[in-house]
Amino acid sequence: MTAELVPRGGGELAFPPGLLGFAQDATMSWLLSYDSPNTRDGYRRDLAMWFDFCRETGLDPLQARKSHGDVYKRWLDLRAVEKTGKAVPPATMSRRLSSVSAWYDYLVDEEVIDANRFKGTRRPKLSRNHSETTALTLAEARQLIAAADSDHGPARLRTSAFIRVLVQTGVRIEEAVSADLAALGYERGLRSLRIVGKGTKPKRRRLPVETGYAIDRYLEDRARRAGVEVSQLTGRIFVTDTGGRFYRSSASELVARVGRQAGLSITPHVLRHTWASIAAELGADSFEIKDALDHESMDTTMRYVHSGRLLERDPSQLVASALE
């Protein structure tokens, strides 16, 4: 089975033929039931992929059963292999199946269908501490910051500040790009950054001295080019060269580009894992790391912490050294 349809990016959700009326209304209500725009967008992308499969195979989504879910898994793997040469990672596969199943659960609640027959689709087994994201080492993180400081062009100070915010505080990329200038402040003599986490939960994070200095240099340069004082700047902390909105997609591309300049293949999420891993290595308390990352579960935090230390903690070298 070939994959000629491409999963859609941002924008409206394209429904398969036949999925009309109340089913469409229920679907949009389901997406809007989530407070976080990023959560809504994630579910929309996963559902768009399922709709691509339904269109390609001629399946009416409302008639889907477990057997269709099993075929869907193979279809996803084939598309991934054609595009990247690798099958879909287990955690990603599990998330995509869970998203579709959650949609069907909502349709059941709204009496669009009488039962969720997709729910029985077998999902990959995941270790409690499993993570497909590998954190950077301390040396690699320093290498990344050096590459950011060596960036060129009118946005070089923004690059330096933005990379530092991600690596040195561990905030989510959407939290960094959406932070307003009013979010910068002081509390008990310490600089702080107010962010809005998942589910629109406000949270105040400590802003390290080095991070604050990089932001100050960027804002001073931004104000100078705009011909105003820093205190007269408005809007978000990070903007484009022309003062426009700095979108998450552009920020992700920036992270990837600076990573390549440092000889690293990274995503913004890698930097969040990196912060957690380095914090743990330096002796930070696990509960403090969990709170800083705004995790609901300690299991999630431990996946972040373990991801950067699997090779270092592997006992193989101990055994080999004893045998040689």
Give pLDDT tens digits for 109-146: 888 889 999 988 988 876 555 455 678 888 999 999 99
User: Where does a domain end: 68, 92, 126?
Assistant: 126
Q: Which residues pair with 195 in a beta bridge?
A: 203
pLDDT at 312: 57
What's the average model confidence in pLDDT over 6-34? 72
Least confident segment among 23-27, 52-56, 235-239: 23-27
- Is the model more confident about 54 or about 281? 54
The verdict on 57 and 171 lying in the same domain is no
Indicate the residue among 126, 148, 171 that finishes a domain.
126
Backbone angles phi, psi at 262, to 5 degrees: -95, 0
Provide the pLDDT for residue 10.
42
Query: pLDDT-based confidence at 7, cuts 50/70/90?
Result: very low
If asked whether residues 190 and 261 sit together in one domain, one would say yes
Q: Is residue 324 part of a domain?
A: no
The domain boundary, picked from 75, 100, 126, lies at 126
Question: How many structural domains does the chain have?
Answer: 2
120, 157: one domain: no
Rg, C-alpha atoms of the chain: 23
The span from the CA of 240 to the CA of 237, in Å, is: 10
Residue 307 resides in a domain: yes
Q: Residue 95 belongs to a domain with what CATH number?
A: 1.10.150.130
Instruction: Please check whether residues 99 and 173 belong to one and the same domain.
Output: no
C-alpha distances (whole Å) from 111 to each of 29, 60, 105, 192 are: 13, 17, 10, 48
Q: What's the pTM?
A: 0.63
Q: 35 with 152, same domain?
A: no
- pLDDT > 90 fraction of the chain, expressed in percent and rounded: 46
From edge to edge, which strands make up the β-sheet containing 190-196? 184-187, 190-196, 202-206
**pLDDT tens figures, 144-198:** 999 999 998 889 999 999 999 999 998 889 899 999 999 999 988 889 999 886 6
pLDDT at site 292 = 80
Residues 4 and 151 in one domain: no
Q: Is residue 132 part of a domain?
A: no
Is residue 199 domain-resident? yes
Amino acid at 226: A
Q: Alpha helices, DSSP H only, in the chain?
A: 22-32, 37-57, 66-84, 90-109, 138-149, 156-169, 173-178, 209-226, 248-261, 268-281, 286-293, 298-307, 310-313, 316-323
Say if residue 160 is in the same domain as residue 100: no
Are 309 and 196 within one domain?
A: yes
The arithmetic mean of pLDDT across residues 50-54, rounded, is: 94
Of 141-155, 272-286, 299-313, least confident by mean pLDDT is: 299-313
Task: List the domain range (segments joined by +) for residue 228.
Answer: 138-313
319 in a structural domain: no
